[in-house]
Amino acid sequence: MSIHEECGVFGIYDPNGGCARTAYYGLYALQHRGQEAAGIATINDRELSYHKDLGLVGDVFDDETLERLNGTMAVGHVRYATTGGGRRENAQPLTLKYVKGTLAVAHNGNLVNTPELRTGFEYKGAIFQTTTDSEIIAYAIAQERLRCPSVEEAVCRAMKGLRGAFSLIVMSPRKLVAARDPWGFRPLCMGRRGDAVVFASESCALDAVDAVYEREIEPGEIAVVEDGKVRFIRENCEGATSHMCIFEYIYFARPDSVICGQSVHEARLEAGRILAREHPAEADVVIGVPDSGLDAAMGYAEASGIPYGEGFVKNRYIGRTFITPDQKSRENAVRLKLGALKSQVAGKRVVMIDDSIVRGTTSRQIISLLRDAGATEVHFRVSSPTFISPCYFGTDIPDKENLIACHHSVEEIRQMTGADSLGFLSTQALDHLAPQAACGFCKGCFTERYPVETPQA
């Protein structure tokens, strides 16, 4: 089964120091993007230090470690992955020592030309220590650095050979470099806090460290921070077209983030409103599956006139089931994660909103929870279309064999989940979720149409 990764990156330059602790707070705000591993690398007096391990941010770092990592630049990463599994060596940032010095690289995304790049480097004598495409990116940058005068130029040249999704933060002893692929698949933004310059996957991480959002890194663009000054390289922007993953708005991003000028919360509200128009239901209460179904449920309730209610209690100490690596773990996590509020659903016709159906097993268990709590009817509404194709660009959406909608009709899925009725958001509605977004979108997992040639497309 081909499954890719979804991660979060954070970078900071601050001449006043303390960057490791700031990165720690930033990664905490991005924890929803990856829960298997976390890491921070810093530069202090041009010396690279790092610490990374399997686990949540709060488990990987303690005060002593953060003090040891103190520096004027830092790059951090939270990882969720199935490629390579939960191996410590796959944790990021990846660090590299070579003849020109040292590099630390944090990467969110997934390349589609990994095999040919890996083979090319191996023919040149490269020995890979990890199974990630992020290491290939690090090698590409280091190789180009041998032929050009600066790390930012090396990044610029390396980007030309990469195909797929990459939002990168690269740190050398003197510079912090942020870069985004020419299709803009994964978000990357920039902010400031006094003399500090901050980069992050989402604006919620800027808020967490009291930085003021300034701008997005545009598709193909490179931002370079050196001695507190920021400049931008747009050589790879020519011909670039934005195709950011629409699933960032539907599921991955935190509701308080703003991506490409569009509030994630408002996009999910709109998904719920449209869903109510496309798939109305006669019911007594609308509830959302925490957390990413809640905003859409509010929108559905608003548009339908059906009261909104809290239908579930969430155990905050259990991670997301969608980004739990194996099926058995996902199934066991559901009942540990959610409890139905009997006082809200008993004797009632319930509209239940969730963000997606991938395999269907989680949905079946959640509907069973509502039945056990006394719901007389459960009308299941999904704030995304049916998944009919894998993601090749950094989201945990598996191959067609494991996508329920590839093998079953909507009616069959309804029967399998135990719902009284079932409705998905239309693919046409995706164009209306984020009216304020200054970008286009990739919807390949819903349409089988990708902006980049894929291994199986």
Contact between 152 and 206 under an 8 Å Cβ cutoff? The reply is no
Ligand-binding site membership of 355 (annotated): yes
For 372-430, give the DSSP string.
Answer: HTT-SEEEEEESS----S--SSSS----GGG-GGGTS-HHHHHHHHT-SEEEE--TGGG
Ligand-binding site membership of 445 (annotated): yes
pLDDT at 219 over 90: yes
Distances from the Cα of 212 to the Cα of 191, 231, 408, angstroms: 5, 18, 47
Contact between 419 and 232 under an 8 Å Cβ cutoff? The reply is no
Ligand-binding site membership of 442 (annotated): yes
Is pTM beyond 0.85 here? yes
Catalytic residue among 7, 19, 189, 260: 7
Confidence of residue 99 (pLDDT cuts 50, 70, 90): very high
Q: Which domains does the chain have, with CATH numbers?
A: 6-241 (3.60.20.10), 266-436 (3.40.50.2020)
Residues 6+ apart with CB under 8 A from 454: 112, 392, 444
CB atoms within 10 A of CB 115: 12
What does the pLDDT look like over 391-446, one tens digit per residue? 999 887 778 888 999 999 999 999 999 999 999 999 999 999 999 998 999 999 99
Say what the pLDDT of residue 268 is: 98
- 179 torsion bin: left (phi>0), alpha (psi -120 to 50), beta (else): beta
Say what the pLDDT of residue 406 is: 94
Distance CA 136, CA 115 (A): 10
19 an active-site residue?
Answer: no
Ligand-binding site membership of 391 (annotated): yes
Ligand-binding site membership of 245 (annotated): yes
Contact between 72 and 112 under an 8 Å Cβ cutoff? The reply is no
Distances from the Cα of 165 to the Cα of 6, 29, 186, angstroms: 11, 22, 7
Burial of 18 (0-12, 13-18, 19+ CB in 10 A): middle
Rounded to an integer, the average pLDDT of 206-219 is: 98
